[in-house]
Structure 1
């Protein structure tokens, strides 16, 4: 079969063996595969990613010297079953799957390991247990976005965002746009989006952002109505205490404790760092409102620094988000099917296998495209 492989940073269309499903596996005929921002990073920084993966117990992450079929965002139709499967779906049934597969006792990351070829190919192997049917009426272009939207779903859950919170999304690339979509789908009333690129700001508006700013012109932290200085933070407490102590005999400390349990008091923004470049975390810690929760979703491949004393003084919560669980993946698919979320603004192009290398180059420019999909059976790219 035809597939796109990467070796030493070079992408090329090659002929590779048709994969045969093993125990508990099925083979999909790939309908669409999404090009992920992490694929762009890993293409040139595979060894750094592999080193980190090895430190957390996964020694088989792809390296530059390997020849790998990438592609971990995908949808396809059931083509063949391996031994031991329950054969839950008929041949031709559209499905999506989490990009993990078991070979014996080992679990591998589909599209990110030489041991688990991905979906920049005509066919891909998946685990039957991790596969889910695509509800009727869901276009393959949208089904293929289940995986990146599940990443956003998990990030939003990591932020513990309430509807009344102010959410600030820094960086409106594909993952930032996905976070915006998920925030609005979950009912968050005020979403501020910030990006230097005009095209991405347009896409942020299309995805539902309530306020969109060019940080070169306007600060995303302006006019949020949240605490931005230490005197303001202390003054809030002093003013409340002054009012309470005017009431004779009132156990003010009990009132304050009860109010704290109910969530009263200054709250910051919930900030999503979706850039993944050195210096962004420090900039957010410095300028975000006091008591903000910062969820780092962007993948920074270089060492970075920030000032812990600034984060401490402002009581900033710093959290990191990486993946999702199977329930979040399933819930995301249902949000798409029920039209609670409309990810069509993310889709900016479709290419065949011959167009993958050019699509990688276009996405690296970051000025026009958000999500480019791969149709392995498409002969002419567009």
Structure 2
């Protein structure tokens, strides 16, 4: 198969010919129809504490068609269109049986050193990680499920209730997904903040009732309270830069909840007194489970399709290295997807 390989910091992804994956017991191989480029992929190709150990095929936001099924797999067969959590668990431990293969002590994570990811023509995943796609959904919809599930998990961690006032800090795909789920959870007002209004239209289309351009804590706290009709009950931090936890605490109401979804790869600090004075709860949120993937699929299938507006481009494997590098700078793009088959005319539908 063809795949994009990371060989080191400062080097563009290289298109290479790799061995096709073969499913073992409890595994399936997916022909990748779309794979989204995530900020995590960019972080892992930069010089930091989380740099991937090359060679690595990245990509964990994928969907496609099952082409091979391993031993002891039931309920799945070749030809089925699926999205999948990018994990292979043992299938037998408490975490796997609960639909959380990322907590499995022996899990393999696609898109890391452990397992080739979705920036390739094929990817291998655990059968228990697969969620079939209804006929009404496209392959591109399926590749949106992973970032949507990250947002859903954060909203659940924040216990967003009907009538809550919610502030989302960050208008990237995770922040937009968080706004989408906050509104579906019944939040009365959802404000999204960002350094510019480039994604205001997408945010409003996905459920934001207001959009705030703010550069500092005090300005944001004031603007959020004004836009929401009071300090936010829940703040969802979706930026992942130093200072964002402190900014969240400066904004949240007394007795409110802060959920950290942003992946910060640098050391950070905040003033405990700020949180202490407000008796604020801080929660950290990472990834999702199978049930949350299913919830995302069901929402899209029910007609809540506004997340499609996040997809701003789709590129083939030949174009992907340049598109990947371009995302390191501020850009008009939101979610760029890779279609591994676009260059040879074998694209899967949507």
Whether TM-score is above 0.5 comes out as: yes
- The 1-side partners of 2:294 and 2:330 are apart by 30
8 A contact 1:185–1:341 mirrored in 2: no
Please show how residues 355-374 of structure 1 align to structure 2 within 5 Å: 355-374=319-338
Q: TM-score, normalised by structure 2?
A: 0.87
CA RMSD in angstroms comes to 2.1
Asked whether the 8 Å contact 1:181–1:341 carries over to 2, the reply is no
Q: What is the aligned counterpart of 1:40 among 35, 39, 42?
A: 42
Report the Cα distance in structure 1 between the residues aligned to 2:248 and 2:179, rounded to whole angstroms: 18
Find the partner of 1:71 among 39, 59, 63: 59
Following the alignment from structure 2 to structure 1, what is the Cα–Cα distance between the partners of residues 319 and 184? 33
Aligned partner of 2:263 in structure 1 is 299
TM-score, length basis structure 1: 0.80
What is the CA–CA distance in structure 1 between the aligned matches of 2:229 and 2:295, rounded to whole Å?
Answer: 33
Q: Distance in 1 between matches of 2:80 and 2:177?
A: 26
Secondary structure at 1:167's aligned position in 2? strand
What is the CA-CA distance between 1:380 and the residue it aligns to?
8.8
Q: Do the aligned partners of 2:3 and 2:15 also contact (CA within 8 Å) in 1?
A: yes
Aligned to 1:344: 308
User: What residue number does 2:76 align with?
Assistant: 89
Superposition misfits of 4+ residues, deviation over 6 angstroms: none
Is 1:226 the counterpart of 2:230 in the alignment? yes
Q: Which runs of 5+ in 1 are unaligned?
A: 50-62, 228-267
CA contact (8 A) 2:246 2:270 kept: yes
Secondary structure, aligned partner of 2:167: strand
**Distance in 1 between the 2:292 and 2:106 partners?**
23
Find the counterpart in structure 2 of residue 29 from structure 1: 31
Structure 2 match to 1:16? 18
- Contiguous gaps of at least 5 residues in structure 2: 92-104, 346-350
* Count of paired positions: 325
- Map 1:7-156 onto structure 2 (within 5 A): 7-9=7-9, 10=11, 11-45=13-47, 48-49=49-50, 64-86=52-74, 88-102=75-89, 106-112=106-112, 114-156=113-155
Higher-Rg structure is 1
Contact 1:362 1:369 in 2 (8 A): no
Equivalent-residue separation in structure 1 for 2:166 and 2:110 (angstroms): 32
Q: Report if aligned partners of 2:30, 2:122 keep a CA contact under 8 Å in 1.
A: yes
The residue that corresponds to 1:290 in the other structure is: 254
